[in-house]
């Protein structure tokens, strides 16, 4: 029989936004449950094994003494009825009932396919950072960092500090948007100091802007990469390519619940639409963090704080609203400056694999009628273990497809869990 858990405020996602929301709702006197698929709180931004990042420690301390219920290794599978979530906890169903729900589901990397991107040695930029923080060694490895966004500098600096030989950094954004974005950092001394710190740690490392990785080359594993600016190409020898084109919000659960999404002007970035209190279009459901625009830890903390207070029925101080607007403005500038350029749509060739789970090539999909549905039904693109989380955003970018068709289960779940859930629903529907 499925277990049950009830709390006045339920928070999904224990990254900075979720932690801030849970802490403030609990400190306001509400019963709070914080759910996360990971074994410990922190999310992707505050990922750690033993020693948490310095910025995370005060928040983790407040979380520990907040009197709330932390539910690790808990993955939301479905929302079978209003005010209820179905959670997979170790292969067993857990029904979670709430009065207010805060979604802080975070984001994942955007991978854009190019020839050779499936070679061993090619990994995501964020994945390289996560591997390093999980204990992986990069000593003396020749690393190229490519793609787009400020994360590239952070990853390159961290890998160099860890002993890697950073061959170069390849940023696809054009110089003028980059210059405008950099000038905007003058409004944020802390971010400016952080950027200067990265620059100091990366002294002597070549940085190419308005360029991109055209191809990863190697026989059994990565040996070198081809770099292009659209006019000429060059090759860099390397052992590891850490490549990512920014982040995309994890919109599956908000969409399943019916939350409206919106696109930012001047780029294709999607996010959950919220009001000044972080309320979504669905009553009693709030959203925070990267769901509301990719903006980093500062935006996550302020939007999580506001969402937690409002979910608990506490008025939000005006200073928090002002901080929120500043952080949202930064997220908009970030999205516009580092929006993937159109040339990246032409990198993949007909024989380039675009769905890695099901080994589907670009040519196979391009030859099919219809849009995303045809790719799923006839080529199984997006039907593998990741459920389209990797290829979905990439195919959306390549073909201009929307991705608003979300159905449960949100993640692969055992037949036993789903069967047990059906038994519970049938029992509850009996008169």
Same fold, 3-107+248-337 and 111-245: yes
Fold classified for 3-107+248-337: FAD/NAD(P)-binding domain (3.50.50)
Which tokens sit at 221? 């594993």
Distance separating alpha carbons of residues 42 and 36, to the nearest angstrom: 9
Closest alpha carbon to 31 in 83, 99, 85 = 99
Question: 190-245, pLDDT tens digit by residue?
Answer: 999 999 999 999 999 999 999 999 999 999 999 999 999 999 999 999 999 999 99
Residues facing 272 on adjacent strands: 261
Sign of CA dihedral 34, 23, 324, 311: positive
For the ranges 60-69, 105-114, 404-413, which has the lowest average pLDDT?
404-413
Kindly indicate whether the domain formed by 111-245 is annotated with CATH number 1.10.540.10. Answer: no
pLDDT digits (tens, 9 = 90+) for 82-120: 999 999 998 889 999 999 999 999 999 999 999 999 999
Q: Residue 19: which of 53, 52, 42 has the closest Cα? A: 42
Question: Of 146, 128, 124, 126, whose CA–CA distance to 137 is shortest?
Answer: 128
Q: What are the sequence ranges of the domains in the chain?
A: 3-107+248-337, 111-245, 342-399
Instruction: Express each pLDDT in 388-399 by its tens digit.
Output: 888 889 988 998
User: With bands split at pLDDT 50, 70 and 90, how would you rate the model's confidence at 381?
Assistant: confident
């Amino acid at each position: 029989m499925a277990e049950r858990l009830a709390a006045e405020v339920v928070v999904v996602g224990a990254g900075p936004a979720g932690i801030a929301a849970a802490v403030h709702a609990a400190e306001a006197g509400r019963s709070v449950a914080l759910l996360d698929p990971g074994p410990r709180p922190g999310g992707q931004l505050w990922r750690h094994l033993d020693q948490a990042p310095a910025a995370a420690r005060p928040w983790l301390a407040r979380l520990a003494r907040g009197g709330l219920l932390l539910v690790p290794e808990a993955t939301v599978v479905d929302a079978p009825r209003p005010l209820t979530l179905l959670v997979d906890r170790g292969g067993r169903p857990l029904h979670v009932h709430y009065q207010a729900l805060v979604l802080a589901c975070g984001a994942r990397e955007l991978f854009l396919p190019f020839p050779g991107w499936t070679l061993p040695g090619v990994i995501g930029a964020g994945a390289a950072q996560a591997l390093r923080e999980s204990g992986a060694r990069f000593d003396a490895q020749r690393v190229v960092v490519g793609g787009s966004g400020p994360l590239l500098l952070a990853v390159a600096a961290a890998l160099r500090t860890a002993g890697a030989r950073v061959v170069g950094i390849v940023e696809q954004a054009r110089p003028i948007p980059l210059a405008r974005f950099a000038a905007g950092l003058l409004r944020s001394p802390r971010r400016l100091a952080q950027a200067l710190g990265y620059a100091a740690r990366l002294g002597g490392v070549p940085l190419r802007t308005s360029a991109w990785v055209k191809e990863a080359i190697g026989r059994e594993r990565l040996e070198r990469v081809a770099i292009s600016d659209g006019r000429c190409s060059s090759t860099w020898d390397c052992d590891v390519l850490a490549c990512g084109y920014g982040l995309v919000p994890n919109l599956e659960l908000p969409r399943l619940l019916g939350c409206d999404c919106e696109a930012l002007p001047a780029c294709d970035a999607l996010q959950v639409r919220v009001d000044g209190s972080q309320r979504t279009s669905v009553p009693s459901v709030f959203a925070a963090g990267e769901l509301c625009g990719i903006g980093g830890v500062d935006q996550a903390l302020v939007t999580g704080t506001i969402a937690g207070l409002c979910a608990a029925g506490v008025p939000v101080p005006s200073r928090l609203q002002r901080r929120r607007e500043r952080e949202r403005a930064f997220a908009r500038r970030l999205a516009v400056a580092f929006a993937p350029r159109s040339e990246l749509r032409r990198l993949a060739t007909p024989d380039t694999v675009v769905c890695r789970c099901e080994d589907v090539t670009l040519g196979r999909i391009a030859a099919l009628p219809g849009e995303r549905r045809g790719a799923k039904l006839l080529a199984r693109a997006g039907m593998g273990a990741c459920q389209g989380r990797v290829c979905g955003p990439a195919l959306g970018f390549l073909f201009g497809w929307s991705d608003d068709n979300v159905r449960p289960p949100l993640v692969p779940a055992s037949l036993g869990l789903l069967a047990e859930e059906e038994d519970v629903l049938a029992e509850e529907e009996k008169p």
